[in-house]
């Protein structure tokens, strides 16, 4: 089973700042990695798929990069609505799995 480890666990930032979130896989997932945003009481929202493709309707301030075992989600110029928990997810192998999440909180 592929294990995804996200860091940091918590990121304290102010609106307008850049956020850089990391996801590391225990073995290569090629580029088969997605990023999700989740707010309290809501379902996750797909942001990025296949490492760097923005899902339909996702703002350009969200970007993804990486391949193999190391991936990054960057949020340029945080908006107030971007404070949430972010998860990565791999589809390279069964079972599909998620990382433990990064909480982006307002400083």
Out of 34, 75, 84, 104, name the contact with another protein by CB under 8 A: 34
- CB atoms under 10 Å from CB of 28, counted, come to 15
66 is an interface residue for another protein by CB under 8 A: no
102 is an interface residue for another protein by CB under 8 A: no
Q: What backbone phi and psi angles, to 5 degrees, belong to 86? A: -115, 135
Out of 9, 60, 80, 94, name the contact with another protein by CB under 8 A: 94
Toward another protein, which CB reaches closer, 17 or 96?
Answer: 96
Burial class (CB within 10 angstroms; exposed 0-12, middle 13-18, buried 19+) of 72: middle
Out of 64, 71, 89, 102, name the contact with another protein by CB under 8 A: 89
Query: Residues near 100 by Cβ (< 8 Å), separated by ≥ 6?
Result: 4, 5, 6, 9, 87
Residue 79 structure tokens: 């908006």
62 is an interface residue for another protein by CB under 8 A: no
101 is an interface residue for another protein by CB under 8 A: yes
Residues in the site for another protein, rule: CB under 8 A? 34, 36, 43-46, 49, 55, 87, 89, 91, 94-101
């Amino acid at each position: 089973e592929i294990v995804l480890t996200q860091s940091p666990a918590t990121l304290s930032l102010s609106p307008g700042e850049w956020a850089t979130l990391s996801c590391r896989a225990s073995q290569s997932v090629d580029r088969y990695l997605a990023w999700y945003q989740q707010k309290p009481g809501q379902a996750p929202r797909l942001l990025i798929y296949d490492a760097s493709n923005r899902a339909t309707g996702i703002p350009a301030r969200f970007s993804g990069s990486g391949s193999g075992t190391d991936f990054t989600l960057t949020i340029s110029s945080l908006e107030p609505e971007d404070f949430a928990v972010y998860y990565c997810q791999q589809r390279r192998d069964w079972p599909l799995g998620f990382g433990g999440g990064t909480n982006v909180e307002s400083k």
